[in-house]
Structure formats: C-alpha cells, structure tokens
Structure 1
C-alpha cells in the first residue's frame, strides 16, 4: 500500500506535496546546469521550458514512487 499522506507533527500532509518539493529541488539543479552550459540560448521561452521541465520531473518522481515495490 502506498502512503497517500504523511503525519508531520500531527498535521496530515498529502504525499503530493513531498513529491512536488522533491521535483522542485531536482528541477532547480537541472536548471542551474542548463544555465551554466548555455542551453537557454536556444530556448524560445525560458519560463515555459522551465515549467515543462518541472512537470516532466514531477511525473517521473510520481511514476517511480507509485510503481516501486512495497
């Protein structure tokens, strides 16, 4: 069974919040690397690209967590 919420000092927090924070951290690291190598010079709209990157990373994390053996 998968955890759908976490008990954080008596407050139940949805697991989605933890996944979103993890995706934000991973995306921030990837964005830093892409900025340093100059990748954003070929990107048309940086904000849209960053949002799409975040969604892809979030989906990957959810897929990994949801399909992990218990």
Structure 2
C-alpha cells in the first residue's frame, strides 16, 4: 500500500485509511462486548475502549510500515 493516496488532487496519508478501518473494527468489537455484557469485568470502560483502539490501530499500522 502506498504511503500516500491520491484522492482527487489531494494527497491523503495511508495511515488515514487504517485509522478509519480501525474505527470500524472498534465499533464492531464494542457492540459485541456490550451485547454480551463483558464491560462489567472492566474497571474503566472508556479507558478500555481507547486502549483497544490503540492496539487495533497500532497492529494495522504495522502492516503499512
């Protein structure tokens, strides 16, 4: 995957694509965790969501670089 993507006349960083994909994965995982009630085992759900997003985004970004 190129490091920059041409979108019209603007160059968009390649990490932006992985950022949007990781947001989608986070929302999907968040719905599954919320539906099964697994947030009751987590001390701070908001902190857990941010940490999960960082893990997803970091692992997807390693695919680019």
TM-score (norm 1): 0.85
Which stretches in structure 2 are left out of the alignment for 5+ residues?
none
Aligned-CA RMSD value = 1.1
Q: What 5-or-longer segments of structure 1 have no aligned partner?
A: none
Is 2:18 aligned against 1:19? yes
2:15 is paired with a residue whose SS is helix
SS of the equivalent of 1:3 reads: coil
TM superposition score normalised by structure 2: 0.91
Matched with 2:45 is 46
1:1-70 correspondence runs (5 A) = 2-66=1-65
